[in-house]
Homo-oligomer: A and B are copies of this chain.
Amino acid sequence: MRPEELELVQAIPLVANAAPEHVGELLRGAFLQRFPVHVELVREGEPPDFLHIIVEGQIELFSRYRDRETTVAVLGPGGSFILAAVLLDKPYLKSARVLSPARILMIPSEAVRNLFGIDANFARGLTNELAVAYRGVLKELKNQKLRSSLERTAAWLVRHHAEVGNPGEVALPFDKKVLAGRLGMAPEVLSRTFVTLQAYGVAVNGRRIVIGDPPALFKLAAPDDLIDDPHA
């Protein structure tokens, strides 16, 4: 790994938690690699060889069953995935594919488990990350079981609108197809949902969405911190 890459990697929170004298060991067998779009980084059912941390780009986590497929999450820089599989040394439960050109840090799973036993601070960081991930999935489960498609879409818009500045406007960070999967509906349903949302002041134009009547949308979405707030 080149010096500038090393610097980049050491800035990653999970890595930074490890004591400096341990970082070398952690990265000994690690790769920092670029991947083009569409590449499948990991496939569900396989044994966990590496912990993956996203340095750059967008990764879609999804799962297949019969001839169906569903998106579990979409992660950006700083995100890590398949942490639980690595810690338990059990097969991946989900697959991952590159959504936009990415740089991924891949740390051998054995190195992660070893350092977990040696470096308490590193262990604490991993556990926190895992706890946050747990709560994220649980929120998503509640989102799915407690809300309709229309409500999920509205809530997503409200939340996303609050996260990325630019008042009154939202830019989709990925294709509508992917968003539909993330929200748990067929692409056609999302398309129709946007039409329905016109009555609530929402205007869609490609990836640009204008929120004309925030209070109306807010009322429809009925956002709940225990479902929507990623930091709660």
* Interface residues, chain A, with chain B CB atoms under 8 Å away: 44-45, 63, 65-66, 68, 70, 72, 83-85, 87-88, 90-91, 93-94, 116-117, 120, 123-124, 126-128, 130-135, 137-142, 144-147, 184, 222, 224, 226-227, 232
CA distance A227 to B145 in the complex (A): 17
Residues of B within 8 A of A139 (CB): 93
Beyond A88-B132, A137-B138, list 16 extra A-B contacts (CB 8 Å): A44-B226, A45-B226, A63-B142, A65-B142, A65-B146, A72-B141, A84-B132, A84-B134, A84-B138, A85-B135, A93-B138, A93-B139, A126-B127, A140-B141, A141-B141, A141-B144
Residues in B with CB closer than 8 Å to A68 are 146
| B-chain residues with CB within 8 Å of residue A224 when the two chains form the complex | 65
Contact B130 A130 (CB under 8 A): yes
- Which chain B positions have C-beta within 8 A of A88? 128, 131-132, 135
Query: What is the total number of copies of this protein in its complex?
Result: 2
In the complex, what residues of B have CB within 8 A of residue A146's CB? 63, 65-66, 68, 70
Q: In the bound complex, do residue A87 and residue B142 qualify as a contact, i.e. CB atoms below 8 Å apart?
A: no
Q: Are A130 and B134 in contact (CB under 8 A)?
A: yes
Min CB–CB distance A93 → chain B (angstroms):
5
State in angstroms the CA–CA spacing of A133 and B141 once bound together: 13
Q: Distance (Å) between the CB of A118 and the closest chain B CB?
A: 9
Contact B147 A65 (CB under 8 A): yes
Q: How many Å from the CB of A162 to the closest CB on chain B?
A: 19
Contact (Cβ within 8 A) A127 B87? yes
Please name all residues of chain B whose beta carbon is closer than 8 Å to the beta carbon of A222 when the two chains form the complex.
65-66
Determine whether the beta carbon of B87 is less than 8 Å from that of A135. no
Q: Once the chains bind, are A134 and B137 in contact (CB under 8 Å)?
A: yes
A84 to B226, CA, bound (A): 14
